[in-house]
Structure 1
Amino acid sequence: MPAAILFLCLLLQQATARPETFVPDPIAGYALGGHDPVAYFVDRKPRPGSKKFEFRWGGAEWIFVNQGNLEAFRKAPEVYAPLFAGCGGFALAEGYATAGNPFIFAIVDGKLVFFHSIVNRFLFLVNSQQLMADAAVQAEKTGCKPQL
């Protein structure tokens, strides 16, 4: 549901739904709906961050589970932030931008990738090498590559 709201807000803010920064979730007010981006790598699942551990980067506020995760992100945000400004990886490989869902994700080649649906995630992972390359090309065209 938060991903759908994020998508609608993007449509209203811009005629193209093309994020140039990481757009905060309109309900939570934080990037990734308030989930800790480092937790995807450490815990292999989304975990809600705490307002005690906030950091501004990429046009959004990010929150973290603990100080260690915040420091890891502060030192290398490009490592932990989702690819394609959070746009759905499979849809992007197909040539269009959709909001990725922070609950439907995969770590592909060491990078966090979100997807619009479980089916899209499956299809992407079946041919991840080719679709990752296609998505990277489309990120430039659709604007799903944040200007940081």
Structure 2
Amino acid sequence: MAWLALASLLVLAAPQPAAALDFATDPVSGYALGGNDPVAYFVDRKPRRGQQEHELRWRDTIWMFVNEGNRAAFEKAPRIYAPHLKGCDPTALAGGFVTIGNPSIFALHDGRLLLFHSEINRFLFLADPQTLLEGAHDSAERLGCAR
């Protein structure tokens, strides 16, 4: 019984992440996109790890950037650079369930950053993006993945 009380205290004392898992937030560090720069996906066409000296808090989540220019771009237009569907996998959403995307498995589609749980989901999405995106949007609000 004492171990249960101790375990409860440890859980309560543990640092809490900035947000649940919106925007593929790392549950340990609290960084969106696991610490990757959201603007880099558009500029460099690949994920790049941000630096702590260029971080910014937006929507109760901490975002990191590789430089001040990317930080400023995000600050001006966060909805453009933040993952669409709050980082939920659009293929899974189209199927009616929520899976948080992996910041390393992504696609840029119609000017939006989309994250996928797996390479297979990314492949399926790219085979029929319009249909799957429509299905994802239909489920997003109900499943907590709408902005």
TM-score (norm 2): 0.83
Residue 90 of structure 1 corresponds to 91
Contact 1:38 1:69 in 2 (8 A): yes
In the alignment, residue 69 of structure 2 is paired with which amino acid?
G
Structure 2, unmatched stretches of 5+, are: 1-19
Which SS does the other structure have where 1:38 is aligned? helix
Residue 10 of structure 1 corresponds to none
Whole-angstrom CA distance in 1 between matches of 2:117 and 2:24: 16
Q: Percent identity?
A: 55
CA deviations on 1:3-46 (whole Å, 9 max, x unpaired) are: xxxxxxxxxxxxxxxx6954631233211100000000000000
Residue 120 of structure 1 corresponds to 121
Whole-angstrom CA distance in 2 between matches of 1:39 and 1:68: 11
Residue 41 of structure 1 corresponds to 42
Q: More relative contact order in 1 or in 2 (CA 8 Å, sep 6+)? A: 1
Whole-angstrom CA distance in 2 between matches of 1:133 and 1:23: 21
List structure 1 segments (4+ residues) > 6 angstroms apart after TM superposition: none
Contact 2:33 2:103 in 1 (8 A): yes
CA deviations on 1:90-132 (whole Å, 9 max, x unpaired) are: 1011110001000000001110000010000000010001111
Residue 28 of structure 1 corresponds to 29
Whole-angstrom CA distance in 1 between matches of 2:60 and 2:24: 7
CA deviations on 1:33-64 (whole Å, 9 max, x unpaired) are: 00000000000000000001011001100000
RMSD after superposition: 1.5
Give the alignment of 1:137-148 within 5 angstroms: 137-146=138-147
Count of matched residue pairs: 128
Relative to structure 1, the CA distance from residue 23 to residue 122 in structure 2 (aligned partners, 3 Å threshold; closer, same or farther) is closer
Which SS does the other structure have where 2:38 is aligned? coil
Structure 1, unmatched stretches of 5+, are: 1-18
Contact 1:23 1:60 in 2 (8 A): no
> Does the alignment pair 1:75 with 2:76?
yes
Contact 2:21 2:27 in 1 (8 A): no
In the alignment, residue 81 of structure 1 is paired with which amino acid?
A
Whole-angstrom CA distance in 2 between matches of 1:92 and 1:102: 17
> Does the alignment pair 1:130 with 2:131?
yes
